[in-house]
Amino acid sequence: MTEPVKIQVSSETGPLEAVILHRPGPEVENMTPANAERALYSDILNLSVASEEYEQLKGVLEKVSMTFEIRDLLTGILGLPEVRENLVRRICCNEEICQAAEILTELPAEQLAGQLIEGVPLVKDNLTRFLSQERYLLKPLHNLFFTRDIAMAVNEQVMTGRMANRVRERESLIMEAIFTHHPLFGIAPWNPVTQESPASSKGVATMEGGDFLVAREDTFVIGTGARTSTQGIDFFLRRICETTRETRHVIVQELPRSPESFIHLDMIFTFLDRDACMVYEPIVFELNRFKTIHIETANGKVRKIEHEPNILAALKKLGMDLEPIACGGNSDPWIQEREQWHSGANFFAFAPGKVIGYARNIHTMNELNRYGFEIITAREVMKGVKSPDDYKRCVVTIAGSELARGGGGARCMTLPVKRTSQV
């Protein structure tokens, strides 16, 4: 049996030891153009192609760390009768189908895990259901392969996401149960859902992992926009103040609410190395109405809130001097916009200076190469032809013709739960 995983994430680039993933499955295909928007997609994906691309991501990560699949973790905890009953009832009542809980809890753990992820078909056994346009009683989790959003490891703690859209709430409930009850973890997450007002009220606290970056043990960079509210960031600030009297820094970046490619901070800004980051220049640097704010806490309270010119300027004042590398290069705004749309700024670092991203963003790749990142392919790494260990800096490219159309990149599809602390 795998040894328990002690949660530890104190940076975005520390050597990866354990990561949670989800292989796209039938839930991705259980969608039509008519309901794609409700599922938070702008298009429907080809599962066979998306699966091949996902295997490149997982294949690389398996070479450098332990990988865990949500379906396997969920099946594991559903084998525990009390956990199964409580989780199923919580999910069903949250989605206003409490009557379905009794039937679902009778299913074997593996089958039940599949139903909770892929959806429960609506049985047309009465007039109301017969006339319903819905295909599912419990809708598929189309977005589950974006594991980043549903939880955040914060040093030695975990915080579950408070999703901005109701269609993703079940993901957070599942992840909370996994962290709490699976023997690999056994940790009670910080949970904005139990602390704040219901999702239907104004000013609700929402927080998604795509907006949450751990710069270092005492410094966090958080985006606020369509998916993470200022109330969600205030919840995190309160938790910091309650759990430590040491100084902590939170850099908040306002984000545009449209287009949809700006939904999370990691779509315009990600860490690549101890001293380098990827930026989408028009939002991070150019003069605009989107504020950057530095919040400092100490001795259990907020000590300072002030404006900063941009994220990099704020981090530099804290001793983190980062070289910005431009998504799409820095010569043509049209190319920058095009590559940002296809998650060109969304890189996942599995070690300092060693990152994964989409091969399709060729101008971004060329810019990385100009800064000393050797470009190698996922297939080369998987076959053992090339190894990231042989390079000081490298970018491992994965295919992204389908996965990118889901609205996220390598960082979106990875939930790191343990990294080696950086010296």
Over residues 93-124, the pLDDT tens digits come to 999 999 899 999 999 999 999 999 999 988 87
Residue 148, pLDDT > 70, answer yes
Q: Could you tell me if residue 245 is inside a domain? A: yes
- pLDDT given at position 66: 97
Higher pLDDT, 126 or 131: 126
Lowest mean pLDDT among 131-145, 146-160, 225-239, 389-403: 131-145
> What's the whole-number mean pLDDT along residues 242-257?
95
CA atoms within 13 A on the CB side of 101: 17
Q: Could you tell me if residue 9 is inside a domain? A: no
Q: Could you tell me if residue 351 is inside a domain? A: yes
The DSSP call for residue 346 is -
- How many H-runs (helices) and E-runs (strands) does the chain carry? 16, 19
Residue 186, pLDDT > 90, answer yes
> According to the per-residue pLDDT averaged within each range, which of 24-33, 127-136, 189-198, 299-308 is highest?
299-308
pLDDT band at 201 (very low <50, low <70, confident <90, very high): very low
Strands 248-254 and 219-224, bridge-based pairing: parallel
Q: Could you tell me if residue 7 is inside a domain? A: no
Q: Could you tell me if residue 224 is inside a domain? A: yes
Lowest mean pLDDT among 224-228, 254-258, 270-274: 254-258
Lowest mean pLDDT among 158-167, 190-199, 247-256: 190-199
Which residues does 173 contact at the CB level (< 8 Å), separation at least 6?
A: 87, 90, 91, 94
Residue 338 sits at φ, ψ, to 5 deg, of -65, -45
Angle 224-404-251 (CA atoms, 0-180°, nearest 5)? 20
- pLDDT given at position 254: 96
The whole domain housing 38 covers 16-419
pLDDT band at 65 (very low <50, low <70, confident <90, very high): very high
- pLDDT given at position 296: 98
Residue 285, pLDDT > 50, answer yes
Q: Is the bond preceding residue 259 a cis peptide, omega within 30 degrees?
A: yes
Q: Could you tell me if residue 1 is inside a domain? A: no
Residue 3, pLDDT > 70, answer yes
Q: Could you tell me if residue 2 is inside a domain? A: no
Q: Domain of 216: which CATH number?
A: 3.75.10.10
- pLDDT given at position 1: 56
What is the SS3 assignment for 392? coil
Question: How many domains does the chain contain in total?
Answer: 1
Residue 74, pLDDT > 70, answer yes
0.85 surpassed by pTM: yes
Query: Among 57, 11, 39, which residue's Cα sits nearest to residue 343?
Result: 57
Buried b (16+ CB within 10 A) or exposed e, 237-247: bbbbbeeeeee
Q: Could you tell me if residue 11 is inside a domain? A: no
**What are 313-369's pLDDT values in tens digits?**
999 999 999 999 999 998 899 999 999 999 999 999 999 999 999 999 999 999 999
């998916």: which residue's tokens? 227
Mean pLDDT of all residues belonging to the chain: 91
Query: Contact 68/184 with Cβ under 8 angstroms?
Result: yes
> What's the whole-number mean pLDDT along residues 403-418?
93
What is the SS3 assignment for 303? strand
Residue 200, pLDDT > 50, answer no
Query: Contact 249/295 with Cβ under 8 angstroms?
Result: yes
pLDDT band at 378 (very low <50, low <70, confident <90, very high): very high
